[in-house]
Amino acid sequence: MCYIVGLERASFDNKTVSFEEHCKQEHNMWHYLYFIVLIRVKDPTEFTGPESYVHSMIKVRLIFDWLLMLLMLVV
């Protein structure tokens, strides 16, 4: 299962992108974690637009709840 969008392996049958490619390249969960760590250590005055948005979501804990759910699915 792709833990980012919740798609099962069967959803990728007869598609141009394989399930493995999707999970490793398009929705690598570790890239999401690294991005959140970047947001936590970066100076807020240096944020890009997307970084500012994610930072605001982190402040209200929406991102952490989502990430926690993903990590629980992996284990």
Length of the chain as a residue count: 75
Alpha-helical segments (H) within the chain: 19-21, 29-41, 49-59, 62-74
Higher pLDDT, 74 or 18: 18
pLDDT greater than 70 at residue 69: no
Residue 42 has what pLDDT? 96
> For 1-50, what is each residue's pLDDT tens digit?
776 777 788 888 878 888 888 777 777 888 888 988 999 899 999 999 98
Sorted by where each begins, the domain ranges of the chain are 21-74
3-class DSSP assignment, residue 70: helix
